[in-house]
Structure formats: structure tokens, C-alpha cells
Structure 1
Amino acid sequence: MVADHGSKTEISFAGRFASSAIAACFAELCTIPLDTAKVRLQLQKKAAMGDVVAIPKYRGLLGTVATIAREEGLTALWKGIIPGLHRQCLFGGLRIGLYEPVKSFYVGDNFVGDIPLSKKILAGLTTGALAITVANPTDLVKVRLQAEGKLPPGVPRRYSGAMNAYYTILRQEGLGALWTGLGPNIARNAIINAAELASYDQVKQTILKIPGFTDNIFTHLLAGLGAGFFAVCIGSPVDVVKSRMMGDSSYKSTLDCFIKTLKNDGPFAFYKGFVPNFGRLGSWNVIMFLTLEQVKKLFTRQVPS
């Protein structure tokens, strides 16, 4: 994923894609309950009953997880896991797998030394935007399945599963609907991808210059935590807008969603679910990067000096 720091090894794009997809899917499987809690918190709006503001149904990370588990069962926390895995195979494989080749393209084949942070950020923005353009339908279905809570007796669910959701959206709303929210999704994923990959790259590079530190699991753990923190701080506002647009078709555009959220719920709404978002992205990045660094070894081959 990041620079090999002088090791004489080589990995093909197919190997990068496969190892990235495997690592991303494993991280998704482990952390999707936190993502489901995050989506519910982000989609929750202020509810007024006369002159009294109703108490929010979901309160905090653990409270939201407990409420979902109590009302809908533990399996509800893994709602959207199938499209989530679809998404990570495509999105994770492409954005992470393309990062090194695109970064090398921006600096040129003959570049020697530490790659500037600006080039790492540019590479992350590029691969994030390209990957989510391909994977947007999987993200849409994932959010819609996660957004659906406990329904009143006799009320059928909108979708019976992931494949039914793809088909129903295509039949009822048209092909273009599968790319609903593409604008904020490109913004969110390009920004978060750059924050994750560039910060992981930079933090790891910095740590390895400190005497006593080596390219080991502890270094990967620290760099992964740093990547998750930067990603949440930078990406939360666009993440909230993306979730609301995908979960509620009443918004006319990205700007309309932004203005209505700001007007109705206030500026802090853009950081709704910050703690579960960091819990999700922080743990996701740690698991993903730790897994990636190990799985990459299976696809890496030695080359002559």
C-alpha cells in the first residue's frame, strides 16, 4: 500500500486489488454494527410534538446499538452487510489498489526520496472519486437497508434483501436512481480516502524514521488510528449529507440537503454520530490496514536488486 522503504519486492495491480478487497471486506464485516448505528444517528431528525421537542429515539453509540438490538434483534446491526461487501470489493479494491500506481504517476517514474504529502493527498482524492463512481449503487442499497428501522405490524419492508433492493430501485426509480447522492458521495469518499490513505502513508513514514520503530504491527496500528481520526474530522459533514440524501429522496440536491439540515437541525447536525463515526472509521482503518499489510505478503514476490 505504502512505500516499501527499500525492500526489493514487487506486487501486481491484481495483487493490490485482491489484497485491498480482502482487507476492506474483513474490516466491513467486523465494524458494520457501528456503521448501522452511525447511519441511524445521522438520519435522525428533530421531532417536535406541539411546543415540546420529543426525546430522540437514538442516543449515543452504545445507546443506538442497544436500541436496534432490543427492538429489531442482533442481526439488524448487520443490515446492509451484503451490499456493504459488494461495495468494499469494488470501492475498497479500487481506491486502495490504485493508490500506489496513481501516486507514482503523479511524481513520475524517476522520482527519488520521500513523496510529498500533497501528491499523496492528490492520489487519494483521485482514487476515491474514481472508485465510488463505480461503486455508488452498492453504497445506496447499503444505506437504504441500514436506514429502515422497526416497522409497525402489518407494514411490509421496502426491500426483502440486497438483490431485491437493486431490482426494485431500478424498476421503480430508473437506472439513474442507483447513482443518487453521487455528488456528495464523490466529495465524501474522495476527501475521506485522501485523509485515510495519505495520513496512513505519512504517519507510517514519520514513525519509521523514529529510532526503535520498525515496519511492524504496532506501527500499522498507530498509523491506522491516525488515518481514522483524520478521516472523521474532515469527512463528517459530507458523510451526513450523503446519508440523508440516500436515506430520504425528498431532497432536491446536495445544496438543498445541506441548507435544510443546517436550517432545521443546526450546524452541529453535520457532526451527528461523530463518536460512532470515529469508532467505526477508527476501528475500520486499524483492522483494514493491519489485514492489508499481512495479506499483501501473499501477493508480493521478490525481484532482483
Structure 2
Amino acid sequence: MSNYGASSDASKKRNTFLFKYLLSSTAAVVAESVTYPLDLTKTRLQIQGEQAASKAAATTQQPYRGMIKTAIGIVKEEGIPKLWQGVTPALIRHIVYTGCRMSVYEILRENLFLKNPDGTFPIWKASCCGMISGMVSQFLASPTDLVKVQMQMDGKRRLAGKPPRMKSTSHAFRKIAVEGGFRGLWSGWVPNVQRAALVNMGDLATYDTAKHMIMKHTSLEDNVITHFLSSVLSGVVAATLSTPADVVKTRIMNQPWKNGKGLLYTSSLDCLVKTVNAEGAMSLYKGFFPTWARMAPWSLVFWLSFEQIRKVTGVTSF
């Protein structure tokens, strides 16, 4: 009887918000560390058109090189370690962001948007849960995302003969707070939250739905193969939905600020219109391939790690 009670108590502890938060954060740190160079490459590509449009930058900015050549260029011009420039705030971001989004999604799925009596979870409910969890989590993590983007671009500033803006992660937070005030830490939060809503609608809803559809309509069980197929689908959908918002978010976050106001764009809509007018509608999908190439392995590593960590620790499968 005592053993059963102890086992029951341990099971309850493993299914708490905090425990699941720690599990998802751990899986996110693994995925982010492995795939971070792809995120840096994607960010550099998204900024290229903006810099090339400036007459002042036109003489120093190199032509569009594509994902592979951009990555090779970073290694040759700045060194291999620069592929992980800004990784510290990126890891901090995912500890906050992914920990929250996964935990909030499960809370919503199990307590608010309830499953059907047969255990299925309609895609519209999964989409709502994904959007809400993404928006809440990204708002909380937005300052770390801002620091990450600006640190990623400092290597390019050095090559252009400009002094680096950030000396370290802590210096970046202080500098942004001094220049833009406390609210400046949330600059770009609107497109950031918009992007997160789309990413999580694509990622969480697709993975959750695909996983259970695969198990229901095929002979596959809740195993690594099912997790692999579901994560591949979720990465494609998430990248397709989120790339335009990602381009806008990156440009707003990377712009210079003065007295708490952006010097290039006044809002997400203003950035969207100016980008389309200057570079065409397809510029909103600039960096789509590196975005997808980044999301696909990230999603794969995360979901496989997350499911295995849950299994090892005795938590029920996602």
C-alpha cells in the first residue's frame, strides 16, 4: 500500500507544470544548441536586402550569397565560433519560451479545450491552443529574442568597419534598456508575438494532430518513427506560415532606436509595406529555405528529445 502511495505521489509530481516545464526546456536547449548556426544564417539573409537598399551600405555590402554561401562566408570572414554568436540569449529565450509554450499548450488541451470522448483532439482546438500558448510564451521571452537578433548582426557590423553594439548578453540588455527604456526591451514584440502564434499553430497543432492521425490510420505506434514523421510535417507547416512575420520581426528588432522610437519602421504594418514596396512581395519569403532548414532539424531534434525525455522520466507521451 505504501509503495503504491509513493508511486502515485511520484507520478503526480512528474505531471506537474514545473516538471513538464523543465523537461521541455531541456529538450529545447539541446535542439537550439545543435541547430543555432542555421538561425544565424537565416537572420543574416533576412537583413541583406534591407542593408543593400541603403546607399551608405551599398559600397560595403556583399551581394546575396544564399544560405550555404552565407554560412561559408561567416566562417571564412569571422571564424567558426561566430556561427554561435548570440547563442546565450537564444538558450535563455528557449528556456522561457519553449518551457512556457509546451506547458501552456498541455494545460489548455487537458483543461480548457477538452478532447473528444474518444480521445481525439480536433485540429481547430489544437490550432487555438497552439496560437494562445505561442503568444503568451513569446511575449514573456521577447526581450531575449531582441538581444539574440542584435548580437547575431554584430559580426556583420565589424566587417563593415563599425564598432560592435553589444559586448555581452548582460551588456546588451543594459544597453537596450538605457536607449529605449524598459519598454525598449519589448521592441518588436508585436510581430514577435504574431510570428509565434503562427509558428505554434503550425508546429504544435500539426505535430499533435499528425501524430495521432498516424497512429489511428496506420500500423505505427507511439514510437520514434511516428515522432519523426510528425516533426517533419510540423516543421514544413510552421515555416510556411511564419516566414513573412519572421522577416518583419527581424527587421524591426534590428533597426536603430532613439528615444524609445525606431528610426526605420513605426510598426509591423509600416515595415511590411516598406519591405514590399522596396523589394517586392516575395521578399517576405526571403530566408524561407533557411527558415525551413532551421525549423526542420530543430523540430526533429526537439520532438525526439522531448518524447524520449518524457518516456525516461515516466511522464506520459505528448
Deviations 1:66-93 (A, max 9, x none): 0111111111111110000000000010
**CA distance in structure 2 between the aligned counterparts of 1:71 and 1:80, rounded to whole angstroms:** 17
Aligned residue among 156, 174, 182 for 1:175: 182
Go from structure 1 to structure 2 and tell me whether the alpha carbon gap of 1:177 and 1:102 turns closer, same or farther (over 3 Å shift): same
**CA distance in structure 1 between the aligned counterparts of 2:66 and 2:188, rounded to whole angstroms:** 26
Aligned residue among 255, 268, 281 for 1:267: 281
Query: Secondary structure of the residue that 1:45 maps to in structure 2?
Result: helix
Q: Output the amino acid matched with 1:34.
A: L
% same residue: 35
Aligned residue among 95, 101, 123 for 1:95: 101
Q: Verify the 8 A CA contact 1:199 1:226 in the aligned structure 2.
A: yes
Query: Secondary structure of the residue that 2:108 maps to in structure 1?
Result: helix
Q: TM-score, normalised by structure 1?
A: 0.90
Aligned residue among 10, 26, 29 for 1:25: 29
| Pairing 1:232-271 to 2, within 5 Å after superposition | 232-249=239-256, 250-271=264-285
Q: Verify the 8 A CA contact 1:140 1:180 in the aligned structure 2.
A: yes
- Name structure 2 gaps, 5 residues minimum: 1-10, 257-263
Counterpart in the other structure of 2:121: 115
Aligned residue among 271, 288, 310 for 1:296: 310
**CA distance in structure 1 between the aligned counterparts of 2:36 and 2:265, rounded to whole angstroms:** 26
Q: Verify the 8 A CA contact 1:58 1:67 in the aligned structure 2.
A: no
Task: Report whether the alignment pairs 1:282 with 2:296.
Answer: yes
Q: Verify the 8 A CA contact 1:11 1:299 in the aligned structure 2.
A: no
Number of equivalent positions: 293
Q: TM-score, normalised by structure 2?
A: 0.86
Query: Secondary structure of the residue that 2:164 maps to in structure 1?
Result: coil
**CA distance in structure 1 between the aligned counterparts of 2:265 and 2:15, rounded to whole angstroms:** 44
Q: Verify the 8 A CA contact 2:109 2:115 in the aligned structure 1.
A: no
Aligned residue among 212, 215, 236 for 1:208: 215
Go from structure 1 to structure 2 and tell me whether the alpha carbon gap of 1:243 and 1:227 turns closer, same or farther (over 3 Å shift): same
**CA distance in structure 2 between the aligned counterparts of 1:12 and 1:115, rounded to whole angstroms:** 21
**CA distance in structure 2 between the aligned counterparts of 1:154 and 1:67, rounded to whole angstroms:** 17
**CA distance in structure 2 between the aligned counterparts of 1:48 and 1:180, rounded to whole angstroms:** 23
| Pairing 1:117-156 to 2, within 5 Å after superposition | 117-148=123-154, 149-152=156-159, 155-156=162-163
Q: Verify the 8 A CA contact 2:231 2:300 in the aligned structure 1.
A: yes
- Name structure 1 gaps, 5 residues minimum: 1-7
**CA distance in structure 1 between the aligned counterparts of 2:297 and 2:198, rounded to whole angstroms:** 19
Deviation at 1:115, TM superposition (A): 1.3
**CA distance in structure 2 between the aligned counterparts of 1:152 and 1:267, rounded to whole angstroms:** 29
Name the Cα RMSD after superposition. Answer: 2.3
**CA distance in structure 2 between the aligned counterparts of 1:110 and 1:195, rounded to whole angstroms:** 21
Q: Output the amino acid matched with 2:227.
A: H
Q: Output the amino acid matched with 2:204.
A: L
Task: Report whether the alignment pairs 1:11 with 2:1.
Answer: no
Judging by fraction of residues, say which structure has more helix: 2
Deviation at 1:106, TM superposition (A): 2.8
